[in-house]
Amino acid sequence: MIQFIQDNTDTLITKLHGAESLNIVVTTHHKPDGDAMGSSLALFLYLKQLNHNVTLITPTDYPRFLHWMPGHNDVVVFDFNEKKCKTITEKADYIFCLDFNDLKRINEYGLVVGSSKAEKIMIDHHREPSSFDNYRFWTYEASSTSELIYEFIKKCGHTDKITAEIADCLYTGIMTDTGSFRYRGTSSNTHRTIAELIDKGARNSLIHELVYDTNTVLRLKMMGFVLYEKLEILEAYNTALVYLTREELARFDIKTGDTEGFVNYGLSLEGIKLSVLIVDRTKLVKMSFRSKGEFPCNEFARDHFEGGGHKNAAGGQSNDSLEATIVRFTEVIKLYKDQLQ
């Protein structure tokens, strides 16, 4: 059973059940992953069953391998529809903020959400949340935000409203955020939830195929290029490093989500305790960190690269050039030599 660190949603649930046609926005972090979209689409589909006016707004686009998900065609992307998103958000009664705990994680859309008079609800499983919300359904003990959405619907007394489509969404979110149920955050509660979702109609085998077995030829070639030419080992720090330039992304026609999972390959090497992927995106240099054991990726990302996340999986960013970011990384990693040996 999940132990919630903060949960003050009793009054909120009463309001959701006691009124119809509330204007509700559901949103999630920029460049949403499987858990972000799985939890958001599941909540979107659930709230629509309560006869509310619900809009799912993502700050940016998201990977093609998630476009099959139920509700995808109803998603409004802020980057492509700023005026529409601002109008909808200004009229909202409630804004559900899923899988993030700081408005900086939704880019420019964060200013719109922050200035809205709507009450904000945070449902999240990351550490050190900031205080922008009115209601909070939060713990870092959950495997994923999708697992929390299942718990939220259960708390509402509406597990009977979990359709096969909602089950597909929640299964996708839990599967992707647990690394197919192998990360340390996967609990017995996670497995019980998964079993119940399969009983509700989640198509577990097909979902795995749709998420992991829909590569393009160029993405597979990019993977080979990364492993053969770009993988560096910093032996003194038991660290694997990959960095990608804008030109390399263009060479392989890389789209949103195409580098998903690349950072994990370094961790498969014997003796490696930290794997790092640094990618030169259009606006920022983006960074992904994965570790084994006790090395705190979230603290490392927070202290040096404006990021955060989980102990063994975190992200960061840099406003410097790719070259300057790599230099900075190779300098700060020296501070952690003892922890990585």
Kindly give the confidence (pLDDT) of every residue in the chain, 341 residues in length, as a single tens digit, with 9 standing for 90 and above: 899 999 999 999 999 999 889 999 999 999 999 999 999 999 999 999 999 999 999 999 999 999 999 999 999 999 999 999 999 999 999 999 999 999 999 999 999 999 999 999 999 999 989 999 999 999 999 999 999 999 999 999 999 999 999 999 999 999 999 999 999 899 999 999 999 999 999 999 999 999 999 999 999 999 999 999 999 999 999 999 999 999 999 999 998 889 988 999 999 999 999 999 999 987 789 999 999 999 999 999 999 999 988 899 999 999 999 999 999 999 999 999 999 98
Give the pLDDT confidence score for residue 282 in this predicted structure. 77
Give the pLDDT confidence score for residue 239 in this predicted structure. 98
Give the pLDDT confidence score for residue 36 in this predicted structure. 98
CB 241, CB 276: distance < 8 Å? yes
Q: How many Å apart are CA 54 and CA 217, to the nearest integer? A: 37
Q: List beta partners, residue 120.
A: 95
Q: Is 149 helix (H, G, I), strand (E, B) or coil?
A: helix
CATH architecture label of 217-340: Roll (3.10)
| Selection from 70, 69, 87 nearest residue 23 by Cα | 87
User: How, if at all, do strands 135-138 and 119-124 pair?
Assistant: parallel
CB 242, CB 231: distance < 8 Å? yes
Helix spans in 2-136 (H): 10-18, 34-49, 82-90, 109-115
Q: How many Å apart are CA 71 and CA 28, to the nearest integer? A: 15
* CATH class for the region spanning 6-212: alpha beta
Chain region(s) in the chain for CATH 3.90.1640.10: 6-212
Give the pLDDT confidence score for residue 20 in this predicted structure. 83
Neighbours of 179 (CB within 10 A): 17
Q: How many Å apart are CA 332 and CA 330, to the nearest integer? A: 6
Chain region(s) in the chain for CATH 3.10.310.30: 217-340
Token pair belonging to 103:
């408005």
- pTM of whole model > 0.75? yes
Give the pLDDT confidence score for residue 30 in this predicted structure. 93
Q: Is 307 helix (H, G, I), strand (E, B) or coil?
A: coil
How buried is residue 235: exposed, middle or buried, by Cβ count under 10 Å (0-12/13-18/19+)? exposed
Strands of the sheet containing 308-309, edge to edge, are 232-234, 239-244, 274-280, 285-291, 313-318, 308-309
Give the pLDDT confidence score for residue 190 in this predicted structure. 98
Give the pLDDT confidence score for residue 267 in this predicted structure. 94
Give the pLDDT confidence score for residue 139 in this predicted structure. 97
Our measurement of the distance from residue 114's CA atom to the centroid of its chain's CA atoms, rounded to an integer in Å, reads: 20
Q: How many Å apart are CA 84 and CA 72, to the nearest integer? A: 17
Give the pLDDT confidence score for residue 281 in this predicted structure. 84
